[in-house]
A and B are shown apart, each in its own frame.
Chain A
Amino acid sequence: MSAPLIRLVDIVKIYKTHASEITVLSGLNLTVDEGEFVAIMGPSGSGKTTILNLIAGIDTTTYGRIFVGSDEVTAMSESELATWRSQHIGFIFQFYNLIPSLTAYENIELPLLLTSLSKFDRKKHVLTALEIVGLTDRMSHYPRQLSGGQEQRVGIARAIVTDPTILLADEPTGNLDANSAEEILHLIESLNIKFKKTILMVTHDPNAASRSSRIIRLDKGLSKEDLIIDKIQFSST
């Protein structure tokens, strides 16, 4: 049995405000194996998004350690985290977070500008990502010219274009209608099944959560329930 890809060890996260302290995570322990598709559910304020932010290194723990592979995220400096993130993390946001002045192509290319790839190679990667999400015919469109579902697909393409180790999805369907949400969930699912991507997805939607191979429910900053979905229905074809 191989070591987990992601390990969260005794994670505590406390937010300090002017008036008080809010403990979001209180000694969370969590592991995720390579190739798993994990859904994180829980009430508002239970720390779901905080977990994603901590794994990505865009927020810091109050106590505890986080490991992704052999890298200790919590021990890295800011500049080390920036480099590490560009190589290992693909983030999918609820509100897409596309840059409005860039086309779909240019938005997807953004992470690749940090690499040493030539313009030609960057183009190959972007076109591949566009093909995966089914938006090759929209590459020259600006975000304002795309539907919500299309914008999210661009967001997904941007997240996968560098072939990251982990995909972190924060309520990826939270801003979409039912049809578009279904398309996005199907796409995310296929990234796990076809491309063996390790995915952590925060969601309120039980239907979305059911697409995963494991559901973790959080309550008061701790993992209350860790439900393994029957993997037979997700066997690859």
Chain B
Amino acid sequence: MKYIPFLFKNVFRKKTRSILTILSIVLPLILICLLSSFLSVFEQTDEAETRGMFRLVTRHKVGLTNLIPSSYLDKISDLDGVLSATKFLWFGGTYIDESAKNFFARFATEPQTLLQVFDDASMVEGSTKDWERDTSGCIVGEELIKKYGWRIGDQIVLKGNIYPVTLQLTIRGIYSVPSGRADALFFNLKYLEEALPTIKGKVGTIWIKAKDPESATRLSTQIDGLFENSPYPTKTESEKAFQMGFVSMLGDIKLLITSMGVIIVLVVILIAANTISISARERIREIALLRTLGYSRLMILFFILSESLIMSLIGGLIGIIIFVLTFNPLRSFLATTPLGDLANSLTYTADTIILAFIVTTLVGIFSGIVPAIGSSRRPIIVGIRYIG
């Protein structure tokens, strides 16, 4: 404790240099916290599973671009352990324009069964009955209402790109989900089939609500076994596995993010090490003086390493505070970019903060260790005679 004032004075003996070095730690650390938040999105637990939702997704075995017969739904519904099932067909299309800002999920489905399968969702305004009564009706998530300011009865025009048809839909209900990610639009599959008869009888996926975990596990294999030898073989997986399949399309994104983080940390270590080395070199005579006064090699090692850690921890603390304070505005900004879907899931936890402190500490240690060892090992007589 008695050395702390001495250490702080050494850290800030060249104020400009110290501040610039601290800033070189602050900015990358904010980036590392952000990357860690992205990583945690891919490691989030399947809320549907933990809340006991037990949802499965059946699609064509080859890929999502291949459709499966909608008649599969009846066979699946007859299986033991299936509480409900519904059809999904991705429409896509354009709302206003093709910018990332106006992108959101748009699915054709069955109004009668959608909320039976997604029973964690609830209608906050309007009803599925209103929706069922209007073939051209749709329901939208709360997040879209906040974003666009829509109300019940408003018209939404979707211009098809996969399907050459323009749909004019009327909002008949607003839904929310516990996770807060109510950001999709659902309309009646019948409406699309009437507008485009060629797609009648085909769907992209069938979503299944199993009654318990054992059924969910058994049904995956059972469903695929039903259609194994048909012209449209299927792959059935849990909701989370299905969603992670989209992430895997981006390649090994986790490895990419981790690698970026490691490179950033290495660069910061090199910058900080350069500063500490320069500082130690400027103080060769001073360190020799301390040794003459009776300070041991170990104490010199402790001083240089501590100064490095202090600088690093100050930078780390400032970086973490800025990250926490700017997290929400940053997330809102990222939501308007092509990273919007990921950004909406972004969150930071105690693990993010702990990781930031660990990184900061490692930067302090690794950037200071070489100059510290060099300074402590230099013979006193060499230091005393040094002319810098």
Contacts and interface: CB of A to CB of B under 8 A. Distances in A.
Interface of A: 53, 56, 58-59, 78-79, 82-87, 89, 91, 93, 97, 99-102, 106, 110-111, 113-114, 119, 158
A102 B9 contact: yes
Question: Shortest 7 CB-CB distances between A and B: which pairs?
Answer: A86-B294, A58-B380, A101-B13, A82-B296, A85-B294, A97-B289, A59-B381
Contacts of A83: 294, 296
Contacts of B298: 79
B295 A82 contact: yes
Contacts of B13: 100-101
A169 to B, nearest CB: 13
A82 B291 contact: yes
Interface residues of B, number: 22
Contact of B3 (A84, A93, A113): A113
Contact of A85 (B5, B293, B297, B381): B293
14 contacts: A53-B384, A58-B380, A82-B297, A85-B292, A85-B294, A91-B292, A97-B285, A99-B289, A102-B9, A106-B5, A110-B6, A111-B294, A114-B293, A158-B293
B12 to A, nearest CB: 8
Contacts of B194: none
Interface in B14-71: none
A153 B151 CA distance: 84
Contact of A53 (B289, B294, B381): B381
A56 to B, nearest CB: 7
B286 A97 contact: yes
Contact of A58 (B285, B286, B381): B381
B253 interface: no
A53 B3 CA distance: 27
A59 B383 CA distance: 11
Contacts of A110: 6, 290, 293
Given A97-B286, A100-B13, A119-B2, 12 more contacts: A58-B291, A58-B384, A59-B381, A78-B297, A82-B294, A82-B295, A106-B6, A110-B6, A110-B293, A113-B6, A114-B293, A158-B293
Nearest to B289: A97
Contacts of B294: 82-87, 89, 111, 114
Interface string B281-314: 0000110011111111110000000000000000
A50 to B, nearest CB: 9
Interface of B: 2-3, 5-6, 9-10, 13, 285-286, 289-298, 380-381, 384
Contacts of B289: 93, 97, 99
Nearest to B300: A82
Nearest to A159: B293
A223 B381 CA distance: 23
A79 B2 contact: no
Nearest to B290: A110
Nearest to A103: B9
Contact of B295 (A100, A114, A119, A158): A114
A56 B3 CA distance: 24
Nearest to A110: B293
A79 B285 CA distance: 19
A119 B2 CA distance: 8
A78 B301 CA distance: 15
Nearest to B8: A101
Contacts of A119: 2
Nearest to A53: B381
Nearest to A88: B294
A183 to B, nearest CB: 23
Given A100-B13, A106-B6, A113-B2, A78 B296 contact: yes
B11 to A, nearest CB: 10
Contacts of A113: 2-3, 6
B292 A58 contact: yes
Nearest to A112: B2
A89 B289 CA distance: 13
Given A59-B381, A119-B2, A111 B291 contact: no
A234 B87 CA distance: 111
A217 B13 CA distance: 42
Contacts of A53: 381, 384
Contacts of B295: 82, 86, 114
Contacts of A79: 296-298
B292 A99 contact: no
A89 B294 CA distance: 9
A93 B5 CA distance: 25
A178 to B, nearest CB: 26
Contacts of A93: 289, 384
Nearest to B283: A99
A96 to B, nearest CB: 10
B336 to A, nearest CB: 48
B66 to A, nearest CB: 72
